[in-house]
Amino acid sequence: MKHPVSGDRIANVVFVVCCLVLVGVAASRYWAPPGRQARAREDFLKPGSPDPFGVAVSSDHRPLACIFISSTCPVCGDSLPFYKRLAERVAATGGRAALVFVATEPSDTVSAYLRTGGIGDAVVASVARPSGIPGSPSIVLLNRFRRVERSWAGRLSRRQESEIETLISRE
């Protein structure tokens, strides 16, 4: 004897399928590999604005790349290989630009964190919570007059990483 399919059973199946679709969409949105996620927000600081960090770093009036990080930030941890490449690029430019890692944590904590990513001898500045910086990671490129040229907040896309490396190299 066949059992007739009831309306409740069909509604339950439709509900389960919809739930699975929603879980799949959420998973693909929030757990996607870094290359598929949204790019960092650009120019959150108005070009020409003063240095939001006010770090006293001797850079002999060279452009300065400031990377605001936190040792507890997952995106910062994922970005350590890029920061290492950036530090190497800055060193290879023959001193045309300077690089400083900025954090609200003690400098020795941040230095130890950077060493885990293969970044040794980094210039680190510990500051109070900087105004206008939405969080970590944030990258701010300052010109030789300590005015904002460009800024990025969040996880960088590959294109954005390449753009920053190019901007550092030309400085």
Q: Would you state the pLDDT for residue 156?
A: 96
Rounded Cα distance, 68 and 104, in Å:
9
Q: Which pLDDT score, from 0 to 100, does residue 171 have?
A: 55
Query: What pLDDT sits at residue 69?
Result: 97
Helices and strands (DSSP H and E) totals, the chain: 4, 6
Q: Which CATH class is domain 36-170?
A: alpha beta
Two structure tokens written together for 131: 């105004």
Split at pLDDT 50, 70, 90, the class of 169 is confident
For residue 27, the model assigns a pLDDT of 57
pLDDT at position 35 is 47
Model pLDDT for residues 22-49, shown as the tens digit of each residue: 766 555 555 555 444 568 999 999 999 9
Q: Is 61 left (phi over 0), alpha (psi -120 to 50) or beta?
A: left
Q: Please report the pLDDT score of residue 14 as a whole number.
A: 74
- Mean pLDDT for the chain overall: 85
Q: What is the pLDDT of residues 54-68, one digit of tens each?
A: 887 766 778 899 999
Cα–Cα dist 156/167, whole Å = 15
pLDDT at 49: 95
CA 138/CA 160 separation, integer angstroms: 12
pLDDT for the residue numbered 62: 85
Unique residue bearing structure tokens 């904590």: 109
The mean per-residue pLDDT over the stretch 2-16 comes to 71
Average pLDDT over residues 128-137: 92
Per-residue DSSP letter, 147: B
Pairing type for strands 138-142 and 148-153 reads antiparallel
Phi then psi for residue 111, to 5 deg, are -60, -45
Q: What is the dihedral of CA 138, 142, 148, 149, to 10 degrees?
A: -100
